[in-house]
Amino acid sequence: MNRPDGPLDVVTIGETMVMFAPVEPVPLAQAPRLAMYAGGAESNVATYLAELGHHVRWAGRLGDDPFGGLILRALEDAGVDTRAVVRVPGGRTGVYVKDTHAGSTAVYYYRDRSAARGLTPDVLGDPLLDGARILHLSGITAAISDSSRAMVLAGVRERPDPSRLVSFDVNYRPGLWPAETAAPLLAEVADRSDLVFVGLDEARVLWGCRTPADVRAVLPNPGTVVVKDGEVGAYALGSGGEVFVPSPRVRVVEPVGAGDAFAAGYLAAVLDGDAEEARLRFGHLLAAAALSVTSDHGSLPARAWLRRHLEISADDWARLDLSDGW
């Protein structure tokens, strides 16, 4: 896929790893075959946005090993701009493996010595990031090392480009750090951002929130806080009040990656100038794609199909059933 020309729409910064997943949705110990993909919260967002025709640049650090080459190839094939990527001589690229069980997924990480742990605040000053309309970060990057945490904090505290919208996905991973450590830092980063994505389940673990209004009380300063509540739906709480859009019905093969897809759909609609309800719908549609596959990334229908479903009536949306695909 050719990389879009013209102004830079989105910059994402974070770790991308090689991901192994069973080809069939079965437990890892029973899987006869594994497939290999590129996977990482921020690059997942970048991939979807690039496939939708936006100019998006992913900045990160990869080892100079074959896994790093695989990731670069996969992102470039999807249309992601990788000119801000650093290949670290002698560095290693992280690996993770999905273990799919009935109704849930366990993830095993092998990233202790990954090149991405060397991310520092200096990356924010790279001229290749200049001019982007949106900077997208996630709580995963804040958890992998002290220096990457400093980078995320600098991104919201220092604001090298004050005109740029800062988008933050809380993306709390209990396997990376305990809630008592993560909660205050993630609350600070989220509250200093312009746009926040957070699951109601993770907000409950981190901050004891029971409702979207509780989340908004913890995060009063962002322009918009998007609260996702699984199969129930998603809420956007902004200056215009609360907007709710229910989730369409979908057959869940594997849930990891759906949050990244939702964020990408929402950001695509922001870039397109859509209203809040359409932004939430776009998020739901891309999340449905991710939920239907064992990898982090699902195939998208034609952009015209997606745009058409942003405009159907509320009643038609409530009846939307994607259980059998697009």
Give the catalytic positions in this structure.
260
- For residue 89, the SS3 value is coil
How many angstroms separate the CA atoms of 318 and 248, rounded? 7
Question: Crossing angle, helix 258-271 and helix 276-291, to 10 degrees?
Answer: 150
- Closest alpha carbon to 71 in 95, 90, 106, 45: 95
- For residue 271, the SS3 value is helix
Asked if 203 contacts 209 with a C-beta cutoff of 8 angstroms, the reply is yes
CB-neighbour burial class of residue 76 (10 A; exposed 0-12, middle 13-18, buried 19+) = middle
The DSSP secondary structure of 109-128, one letter per residue, reads: EE-TTBGGGG--GGGGG-GG
Enter the tokens of residue 28: 């890892």
Bridge partners of 114?
Answer: 92
